[in-house]
Amino acid sequence: MENEKLTTFERLSGSIKPQLLIGAVAILVIAVVVMGVILVQQSMRPHASQEDRVVATANGNPITEKELFEAMYVQGGREMLDQLITRQLLVEEAENNDIIISEEQLAEEIETVIFENFQGSEELFNMTLEQYGISEETFRDDIHLNLLAREIAMGQIDFSQEEALLFYEEHSYLFDQPEEVEARHILVESEDEAEEVVGLLDEGEDFADLAAEYSTDTSNKDDAGNLGYFGRGAMVAEFEEVAFTLDIGEISEPVATDFGYHIIEVLDYQEKTKPEYDQIKDQVMELMIEEQLPVIINELIETLYEDAEIEYLL
């Protein structure tokens, strides 16, 4: 995938932000510190040199490799060591349950992470890995582990229809379909140009033809300027205020925003609705599963620790 220029719709809606999924950041940071733990383990093995290598000096006073590794371990090494133990226990549990993550599953999950957390940009994804000093192979291993944990936990989830119905009734607000409009627009740079376009529309010119000719929004100008459906809060205030007051088929006067001047036409309007349970029962079940997965995984890890023979040698 290529890092494409933001579309006007994305800028209007504010849907693209330079931030990462918390989980993705956690994976990267954990991987960095885990490398420190591995170095700690290596440094404290019996064959380590008695004469510690000097890694820095301060006013001529040496700071040794041993001092560095011991400080790293004190500051977070035990926690990261437990991360390594957790990794091993999960891998063993997956093997015991014949759970295998295919290359297709792994590739799909990585693509999802890039799409949802790196704006769909492989370039931004690779830059982030480089910033944290993480190889793509290490990142793939962490994603693989997450998928293993999910598959193990999924095998322990079994909700009844009665439980799902109760969940729907208690969380019905989560399934409400918000008020939405479908609209298209022509975006131009100046008010005079916007007035010219409005005049042409009043004379009977075709909206789609004018969008293709005049609109500076290259993401949709060749699709009649169609922005699709959007709810309140998705667009900038000036644009939204007009879009939600127009009747279906009505065309606005020029609307000024930070992006230029918009001529807006509303194509459809949908009121806020509350779907019946039978219409969305599959979605209800999926949401229940997503809500319970972290709980199940934590319980799973606790159980694996309780059943395992773990000996700390550091």
User: In 10 A of CB 150, how many CB atoms?
Assistant: 17
pLDDT at 222: 92
Q: Which residues of the chain have pLDDT under 50?
A: 1-48, 50
Q: Are 257 and 236 in contact (CB under 8 A)?
A: yes
Q: Are 265 and 249 in contact (CB under 8 A)?
A: yes
Q: Which strand ranges, in their side-by-side order, compose the sheet holding 260-270?
A: 226-231, 180-188, 260-270, 255-257
pLDDT at 80: 75
pLDDT at 156: 83
pLDDT in tens, 79-111: 777 888 888 888 999 999 899 999 999 999 999
CATH classification code of 8-155: 1.10.4030
pLDDT at 1: 38
pLDDT in tens, 9-63: 333 333 322 223 334 434 443 343 334 434 444 444 444 454 578 888 877 888 8
Q: Are 239 and 262 in contact (CB under 8 A)?
A: yes
The tokens for 186 are 């022509």
Q: What is the DSSP secondary structure assignment for residue 11, as one 8-state letter?
A: H
Q: What is the rounded distance in angstroms from the CA atom of residue 134 to the CA atom of residue 123?
A: 14
pLDDT at 51: 52
The answer as to CATH 3.10.50.40 being correct for domain 177-270 is yes
Amino acid 228 reads G
pLDDT at 44: 43
Q: Which of 189, 192, 178, 194 is nearest to 264 (CA)?
A: 194
pLDDT at 138: 86
Structural domain spans, the chain: 8-155, 177-270
Q: CA end-to-end span of the chain, whole Å?
A: 45
